[in-house]
Amino acid sequence: MSGKPKLTYFNGRGRMESTRWLLAAAGVEFEEEFLETKEQYQKLIKDGALLFDQVPLVEIDGMKMVQTRAILSYIAAKYNLYGKDLKERALIDMYVEGTGDLMGMIITFAFTPPKERNLALIIERATTRYFPVYEKVLKQHGQEFLVGNRFSWADVQLLEAILMVEEKEPTVLSKFPVLQAFKARISNIPTIKKFLQPGSQRKPPPDDQYVATVMEVFKKD
Ligand code: IBG
């Protein structure tokens, strides 16, 4: 075994992309196995690899971890991206839940029938509920990072969320100057800069092929 974490998921963003971001930000190399067939998924279940018969699956430190939130907190704690005490950790949790909720709206977008998609709601939530919070936090304490004057999981996930919303609406940060500066700063951290370059394990926005593969793998017989 190589000792690198192994990620099992589709060759797309979905519920695994934040884990790819966090590992990359921590400078940790990882391997990936892409789910392409129903047989592959059924074999994982048969082998007892999936606690709740669901992916993402991350094999790390001898564990077969499922549940995105558990995976992310483990990685954040292990690589010192989870604050210096319980209160910083609580803040990080609140911030990542916020960005997680916003990204959840975008993750499900590609799987929603076109007539039921509501892009305007996503932009509205981003600009009136979520981004103002992060803009204010950064402005008030005047520090480079969201929590504890130190790079954390909250920063990684906020940048991921900003870029996802910008893909849908490029001008979305126009009224958020502090977030514009934050985006430039965090994008320039060497591990993140590398992840943002072509050829990294970052996945592109969902396309029809990816959506079709997910539907096929989970199709009930
Ligand atoms: N609480 C779990 C987590 O956070 O990890 C949920 C995991 C989950 O929903 N996994 C889906 C799954 O395995 C794949 S991601 N489903 C099979 C089953 O039988 O439940 C599915 C997904 C995509 C995009 I892709 C948007 C929303 C969900």
Per-residue model confidence (pLDDT) at position 204: 97
For 72, the enclosing helix (H) or strand (E) is helix 68-78
Residue 145, classified by CB atoms within 10 Å of its CB into exposed (0-12), middle (13-18) or buried (19+), is middle
Total-model pTM: 0.97
Q: Label residue 221 by pLDDT band (50, 70, 90).
A: confident
β-pairing, 6-9 vs 31-34, is parallel
Going 72 to 75 to 77 to 81, the CA torsion angle's sign is negative
54 Cα to the center of ligand 1, angstroms: 6
- Nearest residue (by CA) to ligand 1, atom 5, is 67
The pick from 42, 54, 208, 210 for probing ligand 1's pocket by mutation, whose C-beta has the most ligand atoms within 8 angstroms, reads 54
For 28, the enclosing helix (H) or strand (E) is none
- Residue 52 and residue 103 in contact, taking contact as beta carbons nearer than 8 Å: no
23-60 burial string, b = 16+ CB within 10 Å, else e?
bbbbeeebeeeebeeeeebeebeeeeebeeeebbbbbb
Distance CA 101, CA 56 (A): 17
β-pairing, 57-60 vs 63-66, is antiparallel
Ligand 1: nearest atom to the Cα of 69: 4
Please report how the helices 68-78 and 17-26 are oriented relative to each other, as an axis angle in degrees rounded to 10: 0
Q: Is the pLDDT of residue 1 over 70?
A: no
Q: Label residue 220 by pLDDT band (50, 70, 90).
A: confident
- What is the chain's mean pLDDT, rounded? 97
Distance CA 78, CA 26 (A): 10
For 172, the enclosing helix (H) or strand (E) is none
Interval 69-93: pLDDT, tens? 999 999 999 999 999 999 999 999 9
Residue 92, classified by CB atoms within 10 Å of its CB into exposed (0-12), middle (13-18) or buried (19+), is buried
Per-residue model confidence (pLDDT) at position 2: 64
Q: Is the pLDDT of residue 135 over 80?
A: yes
Ligand 1: nearest atom to the Cα of 71: 5
Distance CA 154, CA 143 (A): 14
Q: Is the pLDDT of residue 170 over 80?
A: yes
Ligand 1: nearest atom to the Cα of 56: 5
Query: Cα 3 to the chain's mean position, in Å?
Result: 23
DSSP-derived secondary structure for 78-95: HTT-S-SSHHHHHHHHHH
- Nearest residue (by CA) to ligand 1, atom 20, is 54
- Residue 82 and residue 89 in contact, taking contact as beta carbons nearer than 8 Å: yes
